A = this chain, B = another copy of it.
Amino acid sequence: MKYKISQNVIKRLPRYLRYLDMLGKEGVLKVSSGELGRRMGLTASQIRQDLNCFGGFGQQGYGYNVAQLRDGVAAALGLDKRLKAVIVGIGNLGRALALNFRFEECGAELVAAFDVDPAKVGTQIGHTAVYHVSELESFIRENSVDVAVLTLPRERADEAAASAAAGGVAGIWNFTGDDLSETAPEVFVENVHLSDSMLTLGYYLRSDGGRGET
C-alpha cells in the first residue's frame, strides 16, 4: 500500500501503533478520536486529520475499530515487508540491542552481528552469529541486508558506514553520534541521539513548569 503522508504524520505513526497495541491488549474494540487524543496528548481534530491521511478508518459518532486501525497504521509503516538487519559493534549497547530489542515488532529481523574483537568473532549473541567486521561488506551483499545498526565507537563509525554502504544497505540506524551524511550520502540514516532526550529532560526539570510527560 502506498500513501502520501507528511513527515510529521510519519513521525507520529509509531506512537499510534504503540497506543493502539496498548488498547488492543486492554481488550478495547472501538475508540473515539477524543479518547485516543486524550491518551496520546493530541486533540481529537489532530487525530482525525492524521488518520485521514492514510484512508481514515473512523466513522463519525462510532469511533475507530481498534484492530482495523492498528493494521492500517502497521500497513502504512510497511510492517508487512520484513527488513534484514545486522548489528555492527558488540559492545554493551550492541549486546543490549541484540538480546533485548524486539526487531520483529519493528518489521525487521536480526541476521548477523559484527565486531573486531577476536574473542567475540565466531561466538553467538543469543541466536545471532558474530562475524569479523572485515566480512561486513560481502555479507551484506550476499544476504541482501537492508539495515546496518551501528553501535561501535564513534572513531570507527565512518569506516563501518562506508563498508555497509558499499555492500548495499538502504539504511543505517546510527547510535555512534557521528554525522555520516558525507560517508554514506546515498543511504538513509536514522540518528539516535540519546543526549537530546536527556537534555530535554534536564530542561524541564530545571524550568519551573517542569512536571508532565513527553
A residues whose Cβ falls under 8 Å from a Cβ of B = 2, 10-11, 13-15, 17-18, 22, 76-79, 81, 83, 91-93, 95-97, 99-103, 105-108, 146-147, 170-171, 173, 179, 181, 186-208, 210-214
Contacts and interface: CB of A to CB of B under 8 A. Distances in A.
Contacts of A2: 207-208
Contacts of A210: 170-171, 188
A204 B146 CA distance: 12
Contacts of A17: 199
B173 A203 contact: no
Given A81-B206, A93-B100, 7 more contacts: A10-B204, A17-B199, A78-B203, A108-B198, A188-B201, A188-B204, A189-B213
B13 A199 contact: yes
Given A96-B92, A207-B2, A190 B201 contact: yes
Contact of A22 (B18, B99, B179): B179
A106 B200 CA distance: 9
A155 B126 CA distance: 21
Contacts of A108: 198, 202
Contacts of A187: 211
Contacts of A214: 189-191
B193 A205 contact: no
A101 B194 contact: yes
